Structure 1
Amino acid sequence: MAHTIASCHRLLDVIDLLESDPRVQLVFTVAPDVFNHQVQRFLDRSGALVLPWHQAARERFDLGLAAAHGGLHQLHAPLLLMAHGAGHGKRVRPGPYGGPVLADPPVYGLDAQRLIHGGRVLPTALALSHDQELEVLRRQCPEAVEAAVVVGDPCADRLVASLPWRRDYRRGLGLGERQELVVVSSTWGRDGVFGRWPDLLPQLMTQLPPDRYRIAALLHPAVWDAHGHRQIRAWLRDCLDSGLLLPDPTEDWRGPVVAADHLIGDHGSVTAYAAAIGCPALLLPGLRSVPAAGTPQHLLAASASRLDPRRPLPPQLSRAAGVDRQAMMAALTSRPGDAGVLLRRTMYRLLQLTEPGRHRKTGPVPVPGPGRWRARHDLAG
């Protein structure tokens, strides 16, 4: 069930664990979501077999996979539900028409509103990245505890597996030996870097000498969907003309993170993953929503250096201290290196099939290339 581009990225990591099995036929469907505009195009380009949602909701399947929540109650299959980012760090926000403001809002994705429909627990298996999430689930939705399985974080494992090839990622991005890569990561919404400081990228392009620095912007897929691809590229046209690397949201964002020397980010998952593999991170100041206690996002908010966009940026980059890498990784996953094995085992259990052969070793993420990033801007312009 492909809800968004962000959830597609997580699903592609997971389905790779079983789609080569000749006993398994993999079928995609674009599930209901306000940010699903580009999903059909993404799946078509990948060569996936895609069923219309109305047909998928009528059929019966042996296993359903989802990394978001829309329409889950309409699926006729045992369901494996997982997060699409760095664990469950966000809290539930009040609805668009207000409502009571809770002193301790529930953690999104581990609450009964998302996990129960019509008195029925929706996931047959709920994949968690951390033992602490199990304790949160026990408080918020005890009915779903029986479905929970702590599997770790497949994205964190692939980032770690990619680190030995860091120089390949840097070459793929066209970086010189002495150039430093500054990655600016923005989640969606008013608390994201792009929403709060739209002038940050032009400031960086102006203040950082191009012979020493390259700048890449990783915008959450929902940012692209909310504003439109043409509009995003129009807003950033001067930056692109000055050499900004701007991957399409369908591209794998992890290569630039492995290659980065600095990361400027917010409470989004990319910042947490970057800090966990040792990249010095500068955090956007003045976060209005407080991440759930004990999560990677909470650890970042408590310990990362703060960026002040009103002051000169180069000295702030040079002084940024890395967050404790081991502490960040420990907050991300309770099963480091084992997510693939545990997810594969869970899927075959739900399929009621024996696992074939030996599990493949976790592989590195794809090497990026700046040519196609730039080409898309040129075609759009």
Structure 2
Amino acid sequence: MTDRKTVLVVVHTVVYGRRLLDIFPLLGGDFRVQVLFTAPPHAFRNGVEEFLRGLGGPVLPWHKAVRMRFDLALAAGPRGMQEVRAPVITVPHGANFLKRMVGRAGSQVPGLRRDDLAPGGRLPAAVVLAHRADARELARTFSAAVPRAVVAGDPVRDRMVASLPLRDRYRRALGLAPGERLLALTTTWGPRSFFTRFEALLPWLAAQARSSGIRVAVLIHTNVWAGHGAWQVRAWLSRCREAGVHLVPATADWRPYVLSADWIVGDHGSATLYGTLAGVPILLAATPQEEINPHSPAAALARLAPAFTPSRPLTEQLAYAREEYRLEEYARIAARISSQPGRFSRNMRALMYRHLGLGQPAYPAETRRLPAPAPLDGEDAEEGTEASA
């Protein structure tokens, strides 16, 4: 076949690559489409080569990719995209643009600024958003991109909801005994994240959990791993790992751990917000108001979830969180993640094929369930990725 369409998947970081991993497989079964990959320069590029090798797809050097023409490009970040010779579809790399930056230009929302969406002054062919409220936010921040906005939903939300019936299977895969309890710690990156409190808080928490028979899994944002290096992150947390805390490696899919948890302690990052889908109590260990987008569901979660503190026993706080937990209140926040619940795969595939100028395959677009995680008692550094599962 000589007239095969080509799609370039641009993977700036592992975080971006994981988001795109929920998208480009929608093209996978079509012999009319060839998917290729490339990795531009980026400050958090560490781990991208390993990620791409795990996919097993053809990888083009960046300098070669920008000299070629493609029928479509997919990206979750802006760096260098003005150089790509293809119609570009941009997708968010996290949930609902939760963070803001306050500076001389006032309050700005990363991901919705001109430089994020139109690098070099070039608008993408389409700006994919999860919720209609995100479109309103876009109108406030960069109105020129509004005509390109497509509210398609959220792939992470849809895959987690589709996987909720597998909770017991995930817990068995983790090695949790019936009745055994799991506490998931979720942290974003940056100077105001939960991770910055780990040095003081995690040893105390590990000791408290161990004495109460509670298992602990720590899910750290991939940018922390990329910025500091896997050896350094494991070294910093070595004492806690020796105390029984399971450090989920950067290569693992964090979502089954969240779905398996009995409680979540997190911050203002995407993983904590997605935790509202799990139907379990959430406590917040970091809620920096100056960094939270006040129009986002992270702001609503910060007002609702109890604040975690080492001044009281762990079990007392977890019991309080469970007693005060109201599923309907958290469900309202979870509903803010996507205004197209369960329809992302359908909407995104239709959008890609429209820009490719092809009719869609004559079967429904699939929302894949998440793979089972590796056991908590296994060596955390050796866990695999979904791509190699």
Range into which the TM-score falls when normalised by the shorter chain: over 0.9
Question: Could you say what the CA RMSD is over the residues aligned between the two structures, in angstroms?
Answer: 1.9
Please identify, of 35-44 and 317-326, the stretch whose mean Cα deviation from structure 2 is larger.
Answer: 317-326
1:142 aligns with 2:143: yes
Q: How does 1:58-97 map to 2 (within 5 A)?
A: 58-94=67-103
2:61 maps to which of 52, 66, 82: 52
Tell me if the contact between 1:263 and 1:271 (Cα under 8 Å) persists in the aligned partners. Answer: yes
Aligned ranges for residues 119-268 of structure 1 at < 5 Å?
119-121=121-123, 123-209=124-210, 212-268=213-269
- Confirm or deny: 8 A CA contact 1:190 1:196 kept in the other structure: no
What is the identity, as a one-letter code, of the residue corresponding to 2:317? Q
Counterpart CA distance in 2 for 1:15 and 1:372 is: 33
- Deviation of 1:244 after TM superposition, in Å, equals 1.8
**SS of match in other structure, 1:41:** helix
Q: CA deviation at 1:242?
A: 2.6
The 2-side partners of 1:366 and 1:327 are apart by 27
Structure 2 gaps, min length 5: 1-9, 384-389
Is the Cα contact below 8 Å between 2:188 and 2:268 reproduced in 1?
yes
Matched, 1:353 2:355: no
Q: Which of 15, 31, 38 is 1:29 aligned to? A: 38
Does structure 1 retain, via aligned residues, the 8 Å contact 2:268–2:298?
yes
1:70 Cα shift? Answer: 1.1
DSSP 3-state at the match of 1:196: helix
Q: CA deviation at 1:38?
A: 0.6
Deviations 1:238-277 (A, max 9, x none): 2222322222212111010110001110000000000133
Give 3-state SS (helix, strand or coil) of 1:233's partner: helix
Q: Which residue of 2 aligns with 1:289?
A: 290
User: Aligned partners of 2:29 and 2:378: how far apart in 1?
Assistant: 30
Q: Deviations over 1:324-355 (max 9, x none)?
A: 23211221111111011000100111111110
Any conservation in 2 of the 1:278–1:322 contact (CA below 8 Å)? no
Query: Unaligned regions of 5+ residues in structure 1, if any?
Result: 95-99
SS state of the match for residue 368, structure 1? coil
Which residue number corresponds to residue 97 of structure 1? none
Deviations 1:297-321 (A, max 9, x none): 1111111110012332221111114
Query: Does structure 2 retain, via aligned residues, the 8 Å contact 1:248–1:373?
Result: no
Aligned with 2:374 (options 351, 355, 369): 369
Q: Which runs of 4+ in 1 moved over 6 A?
A: none
- Checking the alignment, whether the CA contact within 8 Å between 1:191 and 1:288 is kept in structure 2 is no
Per-residue deviation, 1:371: 6.4
1:6 maps onto 2:7 in alignment: no
Deviations 1:22-57 (A, max 9, x none): 111111111232101110111112212111111111
Q: TM-score if structure 2 supplies the norm length?
A: 0.90
Quick one: structure 1 residues 175 and 136, their matched pair in 2 at CA, closer, same or farther if it must change by over 3 Å? same
Whole-angstrom distance in 1 between the partners of 2:318 and 2:377:
28
Give the Cα separation in 2 of the matches to 1:367 and 1:254: 10
**Following the alignment from structure 2 to structure 1, what is the Cα–Cα distance between the partners of residues 355 and 204?**
51
Distance 2:183 2:263 in 1: 5
How many residue pairs end up in the alignment?
370
Q: 1:229 Cα shift?
A: 0.6
- Would the aligned equivalents of 1:247 and 1:373 in 2 still touch at CA under 8 Å? no
- SS at the partner of 1:64? strand
